Structure 1
């Protein structure tokens, strides 16, 4: 699943771990617009217990965490916009 947010493409995926007890979620953040294409934001990785949450909620959690990281980068780069 991929979404665009503040000039970044956020690609999110999830898979079960080897023991099938956790969702291993990952979000890759790529700058796709002029103001963000040179930005190098780290990937977001979360391990979420399968007993507590389904895969759609796990994907939503990692997507929201990625958006928060983009917001932090955006406000640090342009504090007057905060």
Structure 2
């Protein structure tokens, strides 16, 4: 699943681990607009127990964390304020 947020493409995916007990979730942030193309934001990775949360909620958690990273990056760019 991919969304665009504040100049970034946020690509989120999840898969079960080898023991089928956790969701391994990952979000990759890629700058797609001119002001964010050079930005190198780290991937967001979470391992969430399957018994505690379903896959859609896990995807939402990793997506929200990635969006927070993009917001923090924007806050540190005085020329974008």
TM range (shorter): over 0.9
Q: CA deviation at 1:77?
A: 1.1
- Moved segments of 4+, more than 2 Å: 78-81
2:74, 2:80 within 8 Å by CA — same for their partners in 1? no
CA distance in 1, matches of 2:31, 2:80: 21
Pairing of 1:1-80 with structure 2 (within 5 A):
1-78=1-78
CA distance in 1, matches of 2:80, 2:34: 19
- TM-score by length of structure 1 reads 0.95
Q: Which segments of 5 or more consecutive residues in structure 2 lack a partner in the other structure?
A: none
CA distance in 2, matches of 1:49, 1:71: 27
Q: Number of aligned pairs?
A: 81
Question: What is the Cα-based RMSD across aligned positions, in Å?
Answer: 1.3
CA distance in 2, matches of 1:15, 1:3: 19
User: The residue matched to 2:76 in structure 1 has which SS?
Assistant: helix
Q: Which segments of 5 or more consecutive residues in structure 1 lack a partner in the other structure?
A: none
- TM-score by length of structure 2 reads 0.96
